[in-house]
Structure 1
Amino acid sequence: MRLQRIVVCMQTLYSLLADAVVFLHGAYVAFVIFGLLAVLVGSLWGQRWVSNFWFRSLHLTMILVVVIESWLGIVCPLTTLEKFLREKAGMGDYTGDFIGRWVHDVLFMDLSPATFTVMYTLFGLSVVATLIIVPPRWPWRKSDSRTADDISG
């Protein structure tokens, strides 16, 4: 009886961890998508933070990881981890809670791998284009706020 409770507790733990991985995966996707929208809208509204070098570098790196994985046919490590945890939880197919199920369904639309590769590549190219349209501020270039009159006079 005690062993059965331990098994149930472990399965519940694995299930919760799998749900956490799905939410992490969703947060990753949201950051990539909404990061691009934030840069575009923020630049129109004159928001300086959208040119932050570290934010822009992280954003570019995250979409490049997705594009490269797609080109090489590598399954996302978060997907692999979630499947592993679901198997350990004794779950064959996805059976998480309502929000977890919704996030999962959004992340794993039923499209061909080639379609995803094209979508990821086009999105990655749009992120690269924003680096030209809204260039980041380089941290090693100190902006001199003094005017020519201040320097000469």
Structure 2
Amino acid sequence: MPWARISADLVVLFHACFVAFVVFGMVAIVVGLVLGWSWVRNFWFRTLHLSAIAVVTAQTLAGMMCPLTILENHLRRQAGQQTYPGAFIGYWAHHLIFFEAEPWVFTVAYTLFGLAVAGAFLLGPPRWPWREPVKMPQGNNPHHAP
């Protein structure tokens, strides 16, 4: 079934993008906080980033397998594929984000990374959208003496 193989490759591509968002997002946040980039304090970006690694960490601590991996495996079976190689993009995306290690290594790594993201969230907090300073017209500012 070609649709299943293509769908599996798309799942792997999405999975690779998710991993890249979490990893490179953290790099961008740390570098941006050091260099004073204002966009790294965007509330929605930071909340989405923290949520993404929180889900991964929670799944790992609960001993759950990643739903994207489960979906990809299901689609590969539907396509009659046992192992790689699949299509070019799927093959390389899979090799970039998966490697062999004991399960406890992933649990520790994801938990530590999640704590680092939470630490960055607390030490370099985002700008809360509802706390933006209200600009008062000149002469109407009660804290400004005429």
Q: What TM-score results when the alignment is normalised by the length of structure 1? A: 0.86
Displacement after TM superposition at 1:132 (Å): 2.3
Instruction: Among all aligned residue pairs of Structure 1 and Structure 2, give the percentage whose two residues are the same amino acid.
Output: 45
| Structure with greater helix percent | 1
Residue 95 of structure 1 aligns with which residue?
85
2:130 is paired with a residue of what secondary structure?
coil
Residue 131 of structure 1 aligns with which residue?
121
Residue 145 of structure 2 aligns with which residue?
152
Q: What TM-score results when the alignment is normalised by the length of structure 2? A: 0.90
Displacement after TM superposition at 1:107 (Å): 1.9
Contact conserved, 2:9 with 2:89, CA < 8 A, in 1? no
Residue 4 of structure 1 aligns with which residue?
none
Q: More displaced, 107-116 or 22-31?
A: 107-116
**Which structure 1 residue ranges, 5 or more long, are not aligned?**
1-10
> Residues 84-107 of structure 1: CA distance to partner in whole angstroms, max 9, x if unpaired?
100000001122123321211222
Note if 1:65 corresponds to 2:55.
yes
**Which structure 2 residue ranges, 5 or more long, are not aligned?**
none
Residue 28 of structure 1 aligns with which residue?
18
Q: Which structure 2 residues correspond to residues 47-66 of structure 1 after superposition, within 5 A? A: 47-66=37-56
Equivalenced residue count is 143
Q: Aligned partners of 2:41, 2:135: CA distance in 1, in Å?
A: 17
Query: How has the CA–CA distance of structure 1 residues 48 and 38 changed in structure 2, closer, same or farther, with 3 Å as cutoff?
Result: same
Residue 81 of structure 1 aligns with which residue?
71
Amino acid at match of 1:151: H
Q: Aligned partners of 1:118, 1:135: CA distance in 2, in Å?
A: 25
Q: Aligned partners of 1:98, 1:31: CA distance in 2, in Å?
A: 21
2:109 is paired with a residue of what secondary structure?
helix
Structure 1's consecutive aligned runs of 4 or more residues displaced over 6 angstroms after TM superposition are: 146-150
